[in-house]
Structure 1
């Protein structure tokens, strides 16, 4: 985040005045204090200005989690420019699309992205992170001053591309105010201390990597350690070795860690808070962490909310292990009523509407989509169906994932929750496929841990669900297609189901 008004210096500079000698960032054999970070950010911002970066320009970043991501983010903000972290797991064609879509004037990338950059096609000006020291030294020798662009809470800070599970990805515009208020919401919900040491294992091109734990810890003056590649055994070892106090993750990461051979012997006593979100977690995974004494909190959010909307509480999570908690302090939730207006939640699930100072400014260069995503100009349509019980939020499903079979609503997430009750099941996903008689029927794709027969699975479903909710087709597969953040790519499963089970027009 940049300065809130002209002439007062960048965010790292302000933090450096409070706790200059504390460690801000650490990675392998490299450590940066807050004073050191502020110094490098100032000089890097001056270098970016010399390279032609101006207020409002987009500076893209491509590479794995690294200290240089933070240096580029803060330096870009100090210039009054907009930071665009890109998904390094994409193809060159996809990266080329995003660079063109955001109109980046500069691409910063680390060595691990060399081949991807070469495959991206037409490029803006390029700066490798290995050149940072030389650029910074040039600014020191020249005695140049960092730019004094100054920003307000309403100025854009970040473009985050949505995961793109359907169609072309689009960039959500997050302002300095959005990121600041999300940080305040986090700090109001759980304790972060200046002595905390957090791991940043979720990718920094994703809202969970930046907004959850990471920026709140830096805001408080704690230490953040970015991790380039997720390895469950390595992460567990690092928690014990470094006395890690917290991290944020997606459920797949939590599942992989509690299934690692070192899980039972790793000392997790230093952990004070582990946040997760992005998709539902299986109850046995949540219980595995809670049973180890880890203060696990599920959050619900989205890129467009920077990302936090709701989160569990330490007091209530043991009784509500699968709930996404209660709304953040400065965030409001409402249900979409039948009259297309915001209304309080009742007994029935409804599409969730969200408003608050953390909610984004719209989609980059998509004015109509931005307008259509809000009700009454203030309530963002989440696209998620939610029910609220005694104030606690439960995400039922995506509106677009709803299956209407014989006139009845079937929520895939409800069916999936019943399937994963079986110990033999590793993961699953349910999608709809057209059916001549019922309109749509369900297709369940199931990854098993041990042997499971179709008849046993069907018997379990029929014992726990209304008959119309039981998928017509049960398919055992080795893996489920996922995007870079671990979310299941349902568009691929729908295409697979259509090829296998959809009725052929004209067939008898």
Structure 2
């Protein structure tokens, strides 16, 4: 007997509007308006009908070149309804990089916001797949279609395609700091199961409020916790970008319960004059993701009474939600990322695939319905990353004898000095504990004697010398781990989502 063909309920908003239409789905930080699920479903239906009028069919790519806005999410949910695939564009890419990713996915429609009018005109003649350019507001060319044209479209949508769970919903490009970006295919199944894992773990419910500070071209903006909040009928506050002052305002005034940021954003929050008086009493789950979180950052939140602040882990190719640290373990296992979520398998393995024992470092791999099927138009990268159903993350990790996992760093970032493995994240955490250090990163530098040695690149916030920092590290680290050089800089280069860009750091200090 042949297995039954599997189809998916794809229209999230229609279902949510029927279940809890009067509840607030979105708070638009730009206009201050609240949008209910019922009203938003009608808006997204108009957007779906507009795409349909442009000839967009299931499987066609629709690119969006925009900063965060509610229209971005309208388009996401319209693609959910139509079966079109949303190509989310990292607006910080240079024009040559943008040209590459656009020609890779070959979208038939490109939607853009005001900030990128000149870039769109520069790219226009080099992206032949695009049949229509759509402006959210300002037109880059008189022939372009205003997004407002959707207002003339019907508020009902009844053309739902029959989609398999493996049908793509989003293409999210990743890996731009280490080479040509790869288009991770996030399917309807991936995004649904990621949401189920998030909802079950936190857990989330319709009373939760999430402050969206991460860019929507990043999996953290899309899937942690924006889409899971829509799944349960909660509210998402949509901000254009992270702003410390506004973030503190929203957390207090809108009674935010769930928040995600990268360590750099939290460091800025703690350095703000309002830190001492900031009210986080509404928070039930606060996450630091995207990069290793230095211990002083989460210790300061705990000291302030934010007991729910935890280090988290995820990656685009893994949903990104696959590991969870339960509330009762946050301070019992400081710095741990936790244990596998309900619907995920996680292992730590040697290079030959054999399992590591407790406290032995190895590569973290994961499998489950949250794992992507592969990269768009890139079978070679897919074959190297997803092996026999297991996603090879490229992250070094260890697990203790209870199965709790710590991320040590990236395999490619590990420094092998005189035959010893040195993990930059461990050293960076020690550096960040110094009161006169604002930011720090450790990179590997070739060395004639040791093969490779560590260099500490530091942004100081007080009077500190390289010698004093070396003594500080020597009191806390084995001798072979202490960086052989300390370089002071005014700023450390970051990626678009606030992660430290180690490739750019190396170019900055070694050039």
TM-score normalized with structure 1 length: 0.92
The counterpart of 1:128, out of the listed 127, 130, 135, is 135
Partner of residue 502, structure 2: 490
Alignment check: 8 A CA contact 1:58 1:103 kept: yes
Matches within 5 A, 1:458-469: 458-469=470-481
Number of residues of Structure 1 aligned to a counterpart in Structure 2: 491
Residues in 1 aligned to 2:384 and 2:276: alpha-carbon distance in whole angstroms: 49
TM-score normalized with structure 2 length: 0.92
Matches within 5 A, 1:443-462: 443-462=455-474
Residues in 2 aligned to 1:491 and 1:354: alpha-carbon distance in whole angstroms: 26
SS at match of 2:421: strand
Matches within 5 A, 1:3-402: 5=7, 10-27=11-28, 28-121=31-124, 122-123=126-127, 124=130, 125-130=132-137, 134-140=148-154, 145-294=157-306, 295-338=308-351, 340-343=352-355, 345-375=357-387, 377-389=388-400, 390-402=402-414
Deviations 1:207-238 (A, max 9, x none): 11111121111111111111002110111012
Deviations 1:294-324 (A, max 9, x none): 2213211101011112122211102223211
SS at match of 2:373: coil
Structure 1, unpaired ranges of 5+: 500-508
Residues in 1 aligned to 2:484 and 2:66: alpha-carbon distance in whole angstroms: 43
CA RMSD of aligned residues (A): 1.9
Alignment check: 8 A CA contact 1:342 1:353 kept: no
1:362–1:29 Cα change, 3 Å: same
SS at match of 2:322: strand
Alignment check: 8 A CA contact 1:49 1:147 kept: no
1:400–1:133 Cα change, 3 Å: closer
SS at match of 2:64: strand
Alignment check: 8 A CA contact 2:61 2:105 kept: yes
Alignment check: 8 A CA contact 1:232 1:257 kept: yes
1:497–1:129 Cα change, 3 Å: closer
Deviation at 1:477, TM superposition (A): 1.0
1:424–1:73 Cα change, 3 Å: same
Deviation at 1:148, TM superposition (A): 2.3
Partner of residue 441, structure 1: 453
Residues in 2 aligned to 1:467 and 1:144: alpha-carbon distance in whole angstroms: 67
SS at match of 1:304: helix
Alignment check: 8 A CA contact 2:10 2:80 kept: no
SS at match of 2:58: coil
Deviations 1:441-485 (A, max 9, x none): 111111111111111111122222222222222111111111111
Structure 2, unpaired ranges of 5+: 1-5, 138-144
Alignment check: 8 A CA contact 2:45 2:78 kept: yes
Alignment check: 8 A CA contact 2:205 2:229 kept: yes
Deviations 1:345-367 (A, max 9, x none): 43311111111110111011001
Alignment check: 8 A CA contact 2:311 2:337 kept: yes
Residues in 2 aligned to 1:343 and 1:370: alpha-carbon distance in whole angstroms: 23
1:9–1:347 Cα change, 3 Å: closer
SS at match of 2:328: coil
Residues in 1 aligned to 2:241 and 2:508: alpha-carbon distance in whole angstroms: 30
Alignment check: 8 A CA contact 1:300 1:308 kept: yes
